[in-house]
Chain A
């Protein structure tokens, strides 16, 4: 087989250029949002350092033989689990979650690394030749691979990352071709649990809807009964958990349901974020001129709320650019994934797509008030070493697969 070695063929510019632009936008906004903050004085320099580190990591991974990923998938998954256990023991508590391992002056988040490892391991399992995704045993096994790290991450506890995991696990199963019935079975406990928190009415309505869907898809009374029972249990369990939560966590959930109910309390971040975005207008208030950003109305804006700084200082033009860049990037990964004829590589890319997509969805969604405040960063843009490196590794994997795509036709 002949491979055309021109640059366009080796590097996917639809992937690389949006990422570079996003990283640049991120650097600019980190500079602006930390400029007046004594607590975050060196964050711009640190981020720049990680950008350079990431560049070399990208080059290395980009040129690795593509089968390395499959070979490394199981060992890295086991290593990832060990790290997740380790962090529970020696982890450093940052904003309520024991999710960091200190490495000299830099911190490192095992759950970020575990994302890649879990994607690779689950893709590996799902792409085995004898895998029958509609068999009960294989589904349980696949869920097991996915949910063990989720369980460990929930112990930290890190709600945001757990949601990311659950999302990409579901999308991988979906991509693999799990039947709609099973998809419903897999996803329903989560939906029911969520509806239970919203109140008894929504809980009952969603249970009725679920029952309807089950009987539409399947006539087996016993099967439907068990699934229904499982869901009922999930609902009550969620309610139980909700009441076990500390008041401030409950308040967070409540304030999402109606952020204006307590504007000076828990809805604070949400409202200030929206004020920052909305007040940006079409062209923004200009670099270093957003008062919401410069006066630190939003705590730690350079991390999870970086989108506010972009929206406030660069306006609709800036914020819509970020959305378009993500649309191009994610669309391209999705296209590459569906073009991949190798099942493992296709699944891996879909996993990566899902991770970036859910981060984008939750992060931007929460900033513009469509989703409750869940603390996860905006890929490539938010400040944070581990996050940036892991995201770049994922992009490098996609890029690597693109480089060798013609080998797998």
Chain B
């Protein structure tokens, strides 16, 4: 675990040593804030909650998270540091986990910086802060899921643009598979797939968190989703590290 934390710590410091962190956080805050207030009718709704905010988060993350993950392994390859990292006495899964945790912590920081919205609703009304917390938890889990997908795909290609586009596409697949468009289409043709698509969907799971429901099944879903992609990541790194 010590090695994992050492890797994670270096990675996280790396985000803040370059403009990546600041650009990401500023863009994230501007977009999440403006979408919530304009498209989300934050004031006109007359409700003291963050429902519109949590509605936009997964779609924002869909594009912003792959922007973080695309360089995760590709950059190590470009600099040759992957050779240094993987010849230190750590197992590959430790390097994979360390990188993932750093990226996740970074997303958590970005999410935490949206606290002015939370203050706003507490000033304006009397919100159920449990539901808000739940929403944040759900958002963080979605970020983790997208990160795990993006990190694995970044290990598969040297090209950062390809890593970005693939990550957005695969994340979109999981985000959209529960939407009525997809499930209606599938249930009319292959009914069996509709149920599978819905149960794989990230957005359905997130809906529960937005309503303030933390279901053990949802937690298991996210945990196994992330674990699966981290496993894929480890396998890909092992197979392609020296290419």
Q: Do chains A and B stick together as partners?
A: no
